[in-house]
Structure 1
Amino acid sequence: MTGWSCLVTGAGGFLGQRIISLLAEEKELQEIRALDKVFRPDKQEELSKLKHKVKLTMMKGDILDEQCLKKACQGISVIIHTACIIDVNGTIPREDIMNVNLKGTQLLLEASVQANVPIFIYTSTIEVAGPNSYKEIIQNGHEEENYESKWSSPYPYSKKLAEKVVLAADGWTLKNGGTLYTCALRPMYIYGEGNPFICQQINEALQNNGILLNFAKHSLANPVYVDNVAWAHILAARGLKDPKKAPNIRGQFYYISDDTPHESYSKFNYILSKEFGLHIDSGMSVPVFVKYWVAFLLEIISFLLSPVYKFHPPFTRHLVTLSNSVFIFSYKKAQKDLGYEPLFSWEESRKKTSQWIGSLVKQHNEALKTKIH
């Protein structure tokens, strides 16, 4: 991969930052361009530490700003597009999500064609495949089965449409007459240090005498460690640059998981945090079908009130389904085409994530002591 350069969008995010950290180790990489709307000071500091390894250009800009994208793409040979709005609670306006996740992707594709960027890798999500029903059981799912989300919720819907746009763009002619190569990666639920959802759940448990909500005890998922997802992006970039591998990868999507044990989301949080005294709520839980129909009623109320009042239901049918499904996928196709093997074992991934959770618990306890004194 002689003299190549890479643009990473969503560079200040949970996954984007890890992709940049691994990219910095790549040989013959001349420049990483890190694009995001906002860089938190701690993230900016962490990324800046990589400047001694590789030329790192940090760019603040909006994915919907065409001039910014034009500038960001100049002289780049690979784009890794992770920027998106994730919303599982339905609190962010639909238009904002559709704009960033779908329109932003379309604008970036157009900018890449104009700037003659030959490789475009899209970070998709397992949610473009489903689950569509909490009654459906998918174990060892794979790419040939063509699962597709039927939800109109803006996050899975926008990601599904954006992925289709990216894969359909494979083979487009670049301005200089070259050809655009694309692929998409569909990670499972991504965990690891800095995961905002885990952070929220741990903090809520600490406010509740160390009791973790048992919100998803009927689910069975195969979580994937963040650095393994980042590694899959590096391998996709290498593969699309390789004339022998590229024909098999072009226009394809890949499920990205690893060897993390299959657990319910609730049990998984417990496994990561039990050494710090946290435990799962052992009280009676509401049956899933009751939660589902309550969610349906709340959605109807929200719709009826919408002309006069913005009511956000505390949970939706989509969230109930997501949190209570058996939905597990194999990474064999990524193994075959990309040469993907998890970079970190389950034991290493668990240890790193647990240590980070330990730091959250420590911060909480110190804040309590300060309050008391």
Structure 2
Amino acid sequence: MKVLVTGGGGFLGQAVCRLLTVRGEDVATLSRRRYPALDALGVVQHAGDVRDPQGVRSAVAGCEAVVHCAALAGMWGPAHAYRSVNVAGTANVVDACLRAGVARLVHASSPSVVHEGRDLEGVDESAPYARRFLAHYPASKAIAERIVLAASGDRLATVALRPHLIWGPGDPHFLPRLVEQARRGLLVLPRAPGKRIDTVYIDNAAEAHVLALDALAAGSPVAGRAYFITQDEPVTVAGWVNGLLAAAGLPPVTRHVPARVARAGAAMVEYGYRLAGVRAQPPVTRIAAVQATTSHWFDISAARRDLGYVPRVSTADGLARLAAHLSAPVPVPHAVDARDGR
């Protein structure tokens, strides 16, 4: 099967490409730059941007399936930037699939599409989309997910997966920032007793996308649906953060502040950055403070039932793999463009 992975050079995209090539699929990617790791896998790389309709059509031509991982990640930046990549870019992918007669489209979405600042404890896919969003990223991903699911029909079968807080070896986003702040002594965690979150290890997230690809077909019960993807091991924020720090050979966070102080402090930092016209993402954002002080873990029964998804790599095993990866002497990896996904 010929499969195009948009954002194939990103964290999730590369992991999906690895799984597809291992099982012998004909894999191509659409990314903004070339990635040596994909060359090593024998992946055909199309240089392009999902914001360019013609470029997307050229990459999709001749493919039987598409896994759409390309997205502008992060929780900081102008709304138009997120809309142009995550909304318009996704619409371009859907349009190209319909024009080219692609049969299957798997869309990498996010659980943040249902999170508006309240606790989410064991909720399933019946949870409604958030009525208000805490950042432009989840707002744009909610629109994109709706576009993808609305397109599902006789011509194109679509599905959206919502992997939660992807982590593991090669993470170019959360882990590097966490480690940098820890080494600078800047990490402070909010006190959030009883609040738990769930996450997903990179290999599990990638396997879920391949399973969804296999399950998709016109008329399939999977088509037109969204699925939460996690470790199914809810933990406290402190437990998760300190586990990552331990894997990086760093001590646990010992400083804590009340939840309301964390939220107020994040709001002040954001205000200061905006007032000064700073484009870089602040060390703490309001959405990060809210997510660190609320529960957000999900019922993945539907993914287990319909996709055959099982988080094969446990959190403990994932942390052990991460520790081994971080302690091994490796060359500096090629930079990942934020627009090439998670």
- The interval holding the TM-score normalised by the smaller chain is 0.7 to 0.9
Q: Which residue of 1 aligns with 2:336?
A: none
List per-residue Cα deviations over 1:327-362 (Å, max 9, x = no partner). Answer: 111211011111111232334322111222334899
- Indicate yes or no: 2:212 matched with 1:236: yes
Q: Which residue of 2 aligns with 1:18?
A: 15
Q: Which residue of 1 aligns with 2:31?
A: 36
Q: 1:65 aligns with which of 49, 52, 56?
A: 52
Q: Which residue of 2 aligns with 1:188?
A: 164
TM-score, normalised relative to structure 1? 0.80
List per-residue Cα deviations over 1:68-111 (Å, max 9, x = no partner). Answer: 111101111111001001112x2x33211110010000111111
Structure 2 unmatched ranges of 5 or more? 333-342
List per-residue Cα deviations over 1:298-336 (Å, max 9, x = no partner). Answer: 556667x4xxx5256654432211222111112110111
- 8 Å contact kept, 2:190–2:258: no
- Indicate yes or no: 2:242 matched with 1:247: no
Counterpart CA distance in 1 for 2:257 and 2:242 is 20
Letter in 2 for 1:198: L
TM-score, normalised relative to structure 2? 0.87
Counterpart CA distance in 1 for 2:330 and 2:156 is 47
- Indicate yes or no: 2:265 matched with 1:265: no
Q: Which residue of 1 aligns with 2:183?
A: 206
Counterpart CA distance in 1 for 2:133 and 2:49 is 27
| Residues 49, 316 of structure 1: alpha-carbon distance in 2 compared, 3 angstrom cutoff | closer
- 8 Å contact kept, 1:198–1:269: no
Shift, 1:263, TM fit: 2.2
Counterpart CA distance in 2 for 1:294 and 1:112 is 45
Percent of pairs with identical residues: 29
- 8 Å contact kept, 2:129–2:142: no
- 8 Å contact kept, 1:105–1:162: yes
Q: Secondary structure at the match of 2:152?
A: coil
- Indicate yes or no: 2:197 matched with 1:221: yes
- 8 Å contact kept, 1:128–1:159: yes
Q: What does 1:1-373 correspond to in 2, within 5 Å?
A: 4-27=1-24, 29=25, 31-39=26-34, 44-51=35-42, 56-88=43-75, 90=76, 92-130=77-115, 132-133=116-117, 136-148=118-130, 150-151=132-133, 153-171=135-153, 179-196=155-172, 197-208=174-185, 213-218=187-192, 219-241=195-217, 246-259=219-232, 261-274=233-246, 277-283=249-255, 285-296=256-267, 305=275, 310-311=277-278, 315-359=284-328
Structure 1 unmatched ranges of 5 or more? 172-177, 364-373
Q: How many residues are aligned here?
A: 327
- 8 Å contact kept, 1:76–1:117: yes
Shift, 1:195, TM fit: 1.3
List per-residue Cα deviations over 1:28-52 (Å, max 9, x = no partner). Answer: x3x211111123xxxx23222222x
Q: Secondary structure at the match of 2:221?
A: helix
Counterpart CA distance in 2 for 1:360 and 1:205 is 21
Q: Secondary structure at the match of 2:215?
A: helix
Q: Secondary structure at the match of 1:184?
A: strand
Counterpart CA distance in 2 for 1:275 and 1:60 is 35
Letter in 1 for 2:7: G
| Residues 34, 95 of structure 1: alpha-carbon distance in 2 compared, 3 angstrom cutoff | same
| Residues 12, 149 of structure 1: alpha-carbon distance in 2 compared, 3 angstrom cutoff | farther
Counterpart CA distance in 2 for 1:224 and 1:316 is 22
Shift, 1:254, TM fit: 0.1
Counterpart CA distance in 1 for 2:267 and 2:37 is 43
The structure with the larger Rg is 1
| Residues 194, 277 of structure 1: alpha-carbon distance in 2 compared, 3 angstrom cutoff | closer
Q: Which has the higher contact order (CA 8 A, sep 6+)?
A: 2
- 8 Å contact kept, 2:145–2:160: yes
Counterpart CA distance in 2 for 1:138 and 1:128 is 12
List per-residue Cα deviations over 1:260-280 (Å, max 9, x = no partner). Answer: x42233431322342665222
| Residues 187, 317 of structure 1: alpha-carbon distance in 2 compared, 3 angstrom cutoff | same
Letter in 2 for 1:345: S
Letter in 2 for 1:45: P
- 8 Å contact kept, 2:7–2:30: yes
